[in-house]
Amino acid sequence: MDALNVKHYMEGIGRAARAASRETAKASTAAKNGALLAMAKAIRDSRDALLVANAADVAEAKANGLEAALIDRLTLTAKGVEKMAQGLEQVAALADPVGEITDLKRRPTGIQVGKMRVPLGVVGIIYEARPNVTADAAALCLKSGNAAILRGGKEAIRCNQAIAACVRAGLRAAGLPETAVQVIETTDRAAVGYLVAMPEFVDVIVPRGGKGLIERISKEARVPVIKHLDGNCHVYVDADADASMALKIIENAKTQRLGTCNTAESVVVARRVAAAQVPAIAKMLMAKGIEIRGCAETLALVPNATAATDEDYYTEYLAATISVKVVADVGEAIEHINKYSSGHTEAIVTENYTHAMRFLREVDSSSVMVNASTRFADGFEYGLGAEIGISTDKFHARGPVGLEGLTSQKWIVLGNGEVRD
Amino acid sequence: MDALNVKHYMEGIGRAARAASRETAKASTAAKNGALLAMAKAIRDSRDALLVANAADVAEAKANGLEAALIDRLTLTAKGVEKMAQGLEQVAALADPVGEITDLKRRPTGIQVGKMRVPLGVVGIIYEARPNVTADAAALCLKSGNAAILRGGKEAIRCNQAIAACVRAGLRAAGLPETAVQVIETTDRAAVGYLVAMPEFVDVIVPRGGKGLIERISKEARVPVIKHLDGNCHVYVDADADASMALKIIENAKTQRLGTCNTAESVVVARRVAAAQVPAIAKMLMAKGIEIRGCAETLALVPNATAATDEDYYTEYLAATISVKVVADVGEAIEHINKYSSGHTEAIVTENYTHAMRFLREVDSSSVMVNASTRFADGFEYGLGAEIGISTDKFHARGPVGLEGLTSQKWIVLGNGEVRD
């Protein structure tokens, strides 16, 4: 496709999505759930075809020298196909958020004023290698009454198109327009540029991928973007922490998985307990192969640690490295975290009520925890059923974004002929 | 100030606001309310000085040939000063939204997950002639735990600075930083350009003013903007409407005030009752000096009407003109409204339950009403206590924006040492 054709193609996709969004917005819960279950069946029935398409994608990616981590994300297994189908069934089982009326209150004038939850309209999702996002994103957008335009990575194009066919089959089976979920067929990069700059057709963009992708899209976008940036997460060990709980939480938060956004990248310790706890924490982490980069006080307590630079405290390592900082008290811990954190998730370990409440209130991150591992910051763990991403923005949606983040609330007024004085 | 100085000045304002926002975020309810009551007292005590400053602004505006409507908005009376003080007291009386914990639920893992309401941070407000906005906006931002940067119209600069002094006196009396509310002292237009493009210091912009101002700011902004665009509001008279109720609601919605954003600009009537109701509606409106622009069917029923163009249906007149359109039924009414409306406020008049529910659900506007006047779309009428504007966006805040729209919710997790499996 040349540039003019890409523009024309994307406008066609946009126009069809806008029209479909009017149908999905008023679709019954039964129709939406019927479509999701039919998609799950189509995906199970197409298992072999999906694996063949994916194998072709993987072969080409390998031939092109794609790095191992990306190949890993790209690869779909029979178990992965089953998980995709189950994911669709799980979204079908969630309560329908659309049309929910809340906070209805009678005013002195006689009118009743409340809010009704409604879809955003058309959601554009831009993602990289993982083909399962195609099914997950389609499910969340449809259940929340939106139409979706999906743009996957070019490495996954064959498998994404095969999944798209299953999604369309499900929509058709339920009598919903097939254009309710469209997967962009061109791998031309210009398509993304058009997708994020059509406010007349697209209401919000959700980029899922690396920092580079998200920054580029935020810069180009002419519609709101639900951003998922770094996860530079902290665990603060308070002077009144239970020492064994702190050790257990840090172990889980840092070492359960090194490469996730809710992994802890920094430990902050209150001075009063530093001499007792920093060596124990460092020993546990180093036994698991984690390198320690510490402040001067940490270095005095942990001979094998290296000195942390200011840059270290800002860093999301996504690797076997952690920074350690000793602070005076909970106040300095909050200051340190609010300065260096990316605003994703932070935890305090403490038995002190006032410190816990102060940390909860004053730490300015999308998730703030007391006596729990940062690894819990996740849509499934929070009970959202599924998530489309984790927002590090304060606007609209914050933290794990599920069905609710893909909706808005309008005001409704129920009257009996009232007029204003 | 030259350009470089304006930039330097605005960065200083931004930096001070960011620092102050950390204090306002954790300020106690008592401190915030104390500041609001002290501001009210300072404004009452400064009544004469405020009137003198305003008189100088008005004299200059008249000398510069400012149009009468703007002079009217600019002019402050003794009663206006008292209303400003009362407005501050009303905001003090509202519940504090900051720190409110909701939806706390225990998950199967043992953690409790909920949400805590928190300030957005620093709010920038750009407004035109009305000096009372200075006090209103300061109050709403402070009560919601935010720091504010206010930029009023250059016509109101003396009065705004005098009000700003009262605001600072109130903050000082309550032990809060005076930089929690800053009123920009330069009238240089470049200041606005810097204000909307400092994401490191400003979290959201609220423009209050004409469409031109809002469009310009939306284009330049590098932070989210809470937009208040047109109010092209509709009243739909259903086939099952109570005729006298329809007449009463249209009279109020169109004629109570011609120039407000929640004034009806279009009447849509179901064909089955058009012959009976359109002439009565037209007669009532024309008796009040309203010009009718109608579709072909309307013209056949109302000899004095003129033909409506497609452009008429898109128009927010803010004047003694209204468009009238006859449609087949509630379905066509919803389609017509969703096509031509600006998404502000629409009302249906009907005794039919199914039509009412369908209209509520399918009309895509920030406020949707049954059997009530569109004039009720207002923060005070909805019980928000005060409003900073009416958002026609779907994102973050929709409809009248009060304290809640100036906050966000973060997730909180209360654990007992839980880690993730």
Q: pLDDT digits over A71-125, tens only? A: 988 999 999 999 999 999 999 999 999 999 999 999 999 999 999 999 999 999 9
A411 and B26 in contact by Cβ < 8 A? no
CA torsion B369-B243-A418-B304 (nearest 10°) is 80
Alpha carbons A240 and B200: distance in angstroms, whole number? 34
At residue B159, the pLDDT reads 96
Mean pLDDT across A266-287: 98
Q: B174 CB contacts (<8 Å, ≥6 apart)?
A: B31, B32, B34, B35, B38
Alpha carbons B132 and B410: distance in angstroms, whole number? 32
Out of A252, A394, A409, name the one closest to residue B398 (CB): A409
Chain A residues whose beta carbon lies within 8 Å of the beta carbon of residue B22:
338
B395 and A248 in contact by Cβ < 8 A? no
Give the rounded percent of residues in chain A with a pLDDT score beyond 90.
86
User: Which band of pLDDT confidence, cut at 50, 70 and 90, is reported for residue A128?
Assistant: confident
* CA dihedral (A118, A124, A127, A131) positive or negative: positive
Per-residue pLDDT of A382-421, as tens digits, reads 998 878 888 988 888 899 999 999 999 999 999 999 999 9
Whole-Å CA distances, A35 to A21, A39, A171, A405:
15, 6, 5, 21
Residue A326: strand, helix, or coil: strand
Place of tokens 């609010």: A338
pLDDT greater than 90 at residue A129? no
Is the Cβ of A382 closer than 8 Å to some Cβ of chain B? yes
At residue B227, the pLDDT reads 85
A415 and B377 in contact by Cβ < 8 A? no
At residue B214, the pLDDT reads 87
Q: A224 CB contacts (<8 Å, ≥6 apart)?
A: A203, A204, A205, A395, A396, B224, B395
Alpha carbons A251 and B287: distance in angstroms, whole number? 78
Q: Which amino acid, residue B177?
A: P
pLDDT greater than 90 at residue B394? no
Closest by alpha carbon to B251, among B340, B375, B403, B125? Answer: B375
Is the Cβ of A104 closer than 8 Å to some Cβ of chain B? no
Alpha carbons A328 and A272: distance in angstroms, whole number? 8
Out of A245, A249, A416, name the one closest to residue B371 (CB): A416
Closest by alpha carbon to A317, among A260, A247, A379? Answer: A260
User: Which band of pLDDT confidence, cut at 50, 70 and 90, is reported for residue B230?
Assistant: confident
pLDDT greater than 80 at residue B295? yes
Instruction: Extract the tokens encoding A116.
Output: 């009704």
Helix ranges, A27-46 (H): 29-45
Contacts 24+ apart (CB under 8 A), B350-356: B350/B238, B350/B240, B350/B241, B351/B240, B351/B241, B351/B242, B352/B238, B352/B239, B352/B240, B355/B238, B355/B239, B355/B240, B355/B330
Is the Cβ of B22 closer than 8 Å to some Cβ of chain A? yes
Distance from CA of B108 to the nearest CA of A (A): 9
Per-residue pLDDT of B19-44, as tens digits, reads 999 999 999 999 999 999 999 999 99
Is the Cβ of A111 closer than 8 Å to some Cβ of chain B? yes
pLDDT greater than 80 at residue A175? yes
* Distance in angstroms between the alpha carbons of the first and the last residue of chain A: 61
B420 and A105 in contact by Cβ < 8 A? no
Rg (CA), chain B: 24
* CA dihedral (B125, B131, B136, B141) positive or negative: positive
CB neighbours (10 Å) of residue A210? Answer: 10
DSSP state of B343: S
B215 or A37, which is more confident: A37
Residue B324: strand, helix, or coil: strand
B418 and A373 in contact by Cβ < 8 A? yes
Alpha carbons B277 and B298: distance in angstroms, whole number? 10
Whole-Å CA distances, B354 to A112, A322, B327, B332, B348:
18, 60, 18, 15, 12
Mean pLDDT across A376-380: 93
At residue A2, the pLDDT reads 74
Alpha carbons B405 and B204: distance in angstroms, whole number? 11
User: Which band of pLDDT confidence, cut at 50, 70 and 90, is reported for residue B14?
Assistant: very high
Mean model confidence pLDDT for chain B: 95
Per-residue pLDDT of A190-236, as tens digits, reads 999 999 999 999 999 999 887 888 888 988 898 889 987 789 999 99
Mean model confidence pLDDT for chain A: 95
At residue B266, the pLDDT reads 98
Assess contact for B34 and B42: CB atoms under 8 A. Answer: no
Beta-strand ranges (E) seen in B165-220 are 181-183, 204-208
Mean pLDDT across B152-166: 95
Alpha carbons A364 and A359: distance in angstroms, whole number? 9
Mean pLDDT across B137-141: 96
Closest by alpha carbon to A153, among A182, A132, A126, A125? Answer: A126
At residue A347, the pLDDT reads 98
For residue A409, what is the nearest residue in chain B, using CA coordinates? B398
Closest by alpha carbon to A271, among A234, A325, A326? Answer: A326
Closest by alpha carbon to B236, among B198, B268, B282, B276? Answer: B268
Within 13 A of A280's CA, how many CA atoms are on the CB side? 14
Complex prediction ipTM: 0.91
Alpha carbons A99 and A25: distance in angstroms, whole number? 9
User: Which band of pLDDT confidence, cut at 50, 70 and 90, is reported for residue A255?
Assistant: very high
For residue B218, what is the nearest residue in chain A, using CA coordinates? A222
Backbone phi, psi, residue B283, to 5°: -60, -45
pLDDT greater than 90 at residue A161? yes
Assess contact for A98 and A399: CB atoms under 8 A. Answer: no
Given strand B264-270, what is the order of strands in its sheet? A101-106, A112-119, A407-418, B367-372, B345-349, B233-237, B264-270, B321-327, B291-294, B306-307
Annotate A366-400 with b (16+ C-beta within 10 A) or e (fewer). Answer: bbbbbbbbbbbbbbebbebbbbbbbbbbbbbbbbb
Closest by alpha carbon to B374, among A114, A111, A101, A108? Answer: A111
Assess contact for A89 and A36: CB atoms under 8 A. Answer: yes
Out of A99, A366, A415, name the one closest to residue B369 (CB): A415
Angle between helices A132-143 and A78-93 (to 10 degrees): 10
Chain B residues whose beta carbon lies within 8 Å of the beta carbon of residue A396:
395-396
At residue A332, the pLDDT reads 98
Assess contact for A43 and A86: CB atoms under 8 A. Answer: no
Mean pLDDT across B307-320: 97
Alpha carbons A414 and B405: distance in angstroms, whole number? 22
Assess contact for A229 and A339: CB atoms under 8 A. Answer: no
Rg (CA), chain A: 24
pLDDT greater than 80 at residue B3? no
Q: Which of A353-357, B181-185, B388-392, B414-418 has the lowest mean pLDDT?
A: B388-392
A399 and B382 in contact by Cβ < 8 A? no
Alpha carbons B383 and A254: distance in angstroms, whole number? 47
Q: Which of A261-265, A338-342, B229-233, B272-276 has the lowest mean pLDDT?
A: B229-233
B36 or B383, which is more confident: B36
